[in-house]
Amino acid sequence: MSSYTLTHLIPLGIISFLTGYYARDYLKKQRAHLKVNKTPHSESESEYEESSDDEGIDVDSRELNEIPGPVKMALVIQQGLKMTKGKAAAQCSHATLGLYRKITNPYSEAYNPEMLKRWEYENGQAKITLQVPNKEEMDMLYAKAISLGVNCYMVIDAGRTQVDPGSATVLGLGPAPKLVLDQITGDLRLY
C-alpha cells in the first residue's frame, strides 16, 4: 500500500514544484514590469491622455508616522508654464493619483498604510495647491522632500495641448504630516 501512495505522490510533488516555480517566475516578472513600466497607459490607449507621469524615487516614509498632527498632500504648480486653471487642475489630479498609487502599492518602498489611513480618515484627504515660478525651484523642493522622507511625484506633460513635451507641470508631495510639509513648502504662495 505504501508503494501505491509513493507512486502517486512523486508525480504530484513534481507537478506542485513546477507550478510553484513557474508561478514564482511569473510574479517576479510582473513585479519587474511594475517597476520598469512607470506609465500605466500605452500611447495608443487614449488620445486624450495629456501627461506622462514620472514616479521618480520611492521613499520609505514610515518614520514620519511618529510625527503627530494633521496629514495632507501638497500640489506644487509651476507658474512659468502659464497653464489654464483647467489644465492645472488636471495635472494636480495626475499628481494626487500618482502619490496615492505609490503609498498603496505593497511592492513599493513608499508603501505606508498607516500614513494613508491618517490622510484618508483623520484628515479628509486634505490637499493644498501652491505655486513656484520655475522648474529649478520645483527641483529644489523635490530634493528637500526626499531628504526629509516625504514621497514625491512629478507630473511630466506629454505636450499634446498647452505646454511643451517633457514639461514638469506639478510636483506632488505626501501624504505627510503638515509639520514636515511646512518645512518644504512653508514659504510658497497659494495657487
Q: Which CATH class is domain 51-190?
A: alpha beta
115-124, long-range: CB < 8 A, 24+ apart: 115/61, 115/62, 115/64, 115/65, 115/71, 115/175, 115/176, 116/175, 118/65, 118/71, 118/175, 119/71, 119/72, 119/73, 119/174, 119/175, 122/70, 122/71, 123/70, 123/71, 123/72
- Determine how β-strand 71-78 pairs with β-strand 127-132: parallel
| Residues across the chain | 191
State CA 9 to chain mean position distance: 46
pLDDT for the residue 159: 84
pLDDT band at 78 (very low <50, low <70, confident <90, very high): very high
CB 152 within 8 Å of CB 171: yes
Q: Dump pLDDT digits (tens) for 85-119.
A: 999 999 999 999 999 999 999 999 999 999 999 99
pLDDT for the residue 56: 72
d(CA 189, CA 65): 27
24 versus 45: which is more confidently predicted?
24
- Helix axis angle for 178-185 and 135-147, nearest 10°, is 140
Of 72, 78, 64, the C-alpha closest to 126 is 72
pLDDT band at 12 (very low <50, low <70, confident <90, very high): low
CB 156 within 8 Å of CB 168: yes
* 3-class DSSP state of 154: strand
Report percent pLDDT > 90 for the chain.
Answer: 66
CA distances 103 to 114, 143, 162, 180, Å, are 10, 19, 30, 17
Predicted structure pTM score: 0.72
